[in-house]
Structure 1
Amino acid sequence: MPVYPWQTEVWQRLTGARQRLPHALLLQGRRGIGKRDFALALANWLLCQAPTPHGPCRHCRACHLLAVGNHADLRLIEPLEGEEEGRAVRQIAIAQVRELEDFVGLSTHQEGARVIVIHPAEAMNPAAANALLKTLEEPAENTVFLLVSHKPRQLLPTVVSRCRTVAMPLPDEEMARAWLESQGVIDARLCLALAGGAPLEALRYADGEYLAARGVFLAALGEPAKLDWLKLAEQGARQDLASQIDWLQKWLYDLVAVRLARRVRYNPDFAPRLRELGAGVKVEALLRFVRELEGVRRHLDHPLNPQLLLETVFLAYQRAVMTQNG
């Protein structure tokens, strides 16, 4: 697993104090900045039999086992598909956490450390979080928990209190753009803006077809008086709903932002149109629509009629934006 350039300082700080590392670390920060990769790199380093300041040695038996995903002293706990109140959910269940009780109670296979990575930690349901708490309160020898969280406020305070919190950094724009360009991303500036500055998230947007579809979509939003919401909904029903709602939410954020602060965050390629459209926007009307859209997003998994849903959304958008011109 790589350690990204913006993580170097944190890496040096943690690996320089191996003997003083606590039994549980909470790696928290924005989604899309490489926290999971960092946790796995740190786990590999802790399990390596001849670690260097720069990372695992890559040559010992432990490193070979890690390379093929077969190290018996490493556990990666991530959400499983499940169901809650009749809808599909992804969560970390209590059974996954309870399995750790046997894991930490056994001797290590490689006579070294034992590492558990939980990602994202906020995906634990309440029962799972409470089960983990018991294990954290009575840590086994040579056992390190690495909890990764995008939303630490959703964690039980008692779980957080038993971890050392590590704030994972968001890179500055210059470093993030340079890294994206090194990965072959053509329009790094735009992709980074769409991702809110998170470089790994930005990689998701570095797709020509995706950016072209977004461009057509936003061009339609930029002309609310001419918006054919029926046609747009018919076309959108055959495309990814989540992406369209995401584009719309970020467009609304920028409309409000240009009205209040004359700044565009997510859509720099549409900045002139956003400033023109947002100059007289009625912020209250847009914020009401933003709240309605948040409710729509929470129920996108299984819409009964995607086209009808989009018709409702686009008509509501047109009304909210046209209110500013009325």
Structure 2
Amino acid sequence: MNADLPWLQAPLADALARARSHALLVQGPAGVGQLELAVKLAQSWLCESAAPSQPACNQCPSCKLFASGTHPDFQLLLPEALDAPARESLGLPFEEPDTKAGKAKPSREIKVEAVRNLLSFAQATSARGKAKVVVIFPAEALNGVAANALLKTLEEPAGLLRFVLASHDSAGLLPTIRSRCQPLPLSLPDTADALAWLQAKGVKEAAGLLAATGGRPQQALAWAEAGLSDAAWQALPKRVARGEVAALSELAPPRAIDALQRLCHDLVRRSHGQPGQFFATASLPVPKRARPLLAWDAELRRAARHADHPLNASLWIEALVAQAQAAVAASMRGA
């Protein structure tokens, strides 16, 4: 199993040492390894050689079963849309999604049917005589019915059942789910560690991409693998201000929204005399008014709710760029 995220070593050791609940909630910003930490916790709890407070040995029969994705006492619950890419990133076996015409688009929610299947696993006896572990990611993807179906088992697990819920939006979880879990915060990694990891992965201009993602190394790697360079990122503010649709045309709608939200955030900062957070300060104009930018931010948040299902993606991107150009222009005009 892939687990080459060096900044997770300390949080893993801390979690193994202080975990007192049968259910942990790993929570923090996206792109820093919540899923990887959750899975390493599960492997460590199932390891048959390491001491209870020590990381998995990676050598015992249990660890070998875990690495092959065939451990009978482990379940990984993911939304359909994330299942294959998440398992691939972990080095676990996965099935290619069925993309035949007419087939429904894979869901980004965890539905009640999946939770009911999980409950059958939860009620069975441990195959190897140790714990049984369930990892749910992202936990906020549990829809309301699925979350309620999980509550009783989460509160009163059978036998040695343990849960790790991993989330980058724990506020989106039902309070009754959060209250049944011991929180395990995961913060942004040290910049030096993140840069060293990105450079080892062959990422050029790693510092610029790491800043662009707000310090999230996994997201920076994904952007680099998608072909985004730091130069292209720094050119985005001026291209959007000129109304260049091509600046965003190669991005999927959710990523286009994300890029515009980062740009809007930095322009608001510049309007108050602050440096950019996601863009180099020199790449940003200095708006005279923040009000048009705040109105634009509200529009972007509304658009984000429908980013996965635009009726016509290309027209939608065109409209987003036109909206961005108008907001930036309005912010540059005096009161």
TM-score tier after normalising by the smaller chain length: 0.7 to 0.9
1:14–1:21: 8 Å Cα contact kept in structure 2?
Answer: no
Alignment of 1:200-239 (within 5 A): 200-207=218-225, 209-211=227-229, 213-214=232-233, 217-221=236-240, 224=241, 227=242, 229=243, 232-233=244-245, 236-237=248-249
2:123 touches 2:158 (CA, 8 Å); kept in 1?
yes
Residue in structure 2 matching 1:138, options 156, 163, 174:
156
Q: Output the aligned Cα RMSD.
A: 2.5
For the structure 1 residues 201 and 67, does the alpha-carbon distance in structure 2 shift closer, same or farther, using more than 3 Å as the test? same
Match for residue 272 of structure 1 among 265, 282, 295: 282
Indicate how the Cα distance of structure 1 residues 58 and 187 shifts in structure 2: closer, same or farther if over 3 A, else same. same
Cα distance change on mapping 1:290 and 1:47 into 2, 3 Å: same
Q: Please state if 1:119 is matched with 2:137.
A: yes
Q: Partner residue of 1:60?
A: 60
Larger proportion of helix? 1
Which one of 287, 296, 300 corresponds to residue 294 of structure 2? 287
Cα separation, partners in 2 of 1:305 and 1:4, compared to 1, 3 Å: closer
How many Å separate the matches in 2 of 1:113 and 1:307? 49
TM-score (norm 2): 0.83
How far apart in 2 are the matches of 1:297 and 1:287? 15
Distance 1:273 1:214 in 2: 9
Aligned partners of 1:243 and 1:137: how far apart in 2?
Answer: 37
Corresponding residue number in structure 1 for 2:124: 106
Structure 1 residues 299, 252: CA separation in 2 closer, same or farther (over 3 Å shift)? same
Match of 1:70?
70
TM superposition shift of 1:261: 4.2
> 1:210: Cα distance to partner?
2.1
Structure 2: stretches of 5+ with no match in the other structure: 83-103
Q: Which residue of 2 is the match for residue 257 of structure 1?
A: 269
Per-residue CA distance 1:193-218 (angstroms, 9 max, x = gap) = 12111111111122483226545544
2:169 to 119, 137, 151: 151
Determine the C-alpha separation between the residues in 2 that align with 1:214 and 1:116: 39
Counterpart CA distance in 2 for 1:201 and 1:70 is: 28
Q: Secondary structure at the match of 1:64?
A: helix
Shift of 1:34: 0.5
| Structure 1: distance between partners of 2:161 and 2:74 | 10
Match of 2:17 in 1: 16
Residue 240 of structure 1 is matched in structure 2 by: 252
**Distance in 2 of aligned mates of 1:104 and 1:193:** 42
**Paired residues of 1:77 and 1:116 also in contact (CA < 8 A):** yes
> Which of 197, 205, 211 is the equivalent residue of 1:179?
197
Find the counterpart in structure 2 of residue 79 from structure 1: 79
Q: Secondary structure at the match of 2:228?
A: helix
Letter in 1 for 2:328: V
Q: Displacement, 1:184?
A: 2.1
Contact 1:3–1:37, Cα closer than 8 Å, also in 2? no
Shift of 1:180: 1.8
Q: What is the identity percentage for the equivalent residue pairs of Structure 1 and Structure 2?
A: 35
SS of residue matched to 1:165: strand
Q: TM-score, normalised by structure 1?
A: 0.86
> Would you say the 8 A contact 1:93–1:128 is kept in 2?
yes
CA distance in 1, matches of 2:129, 2:206: 45
Cα 1:94–1:15 shift into 2, 3 Å: same
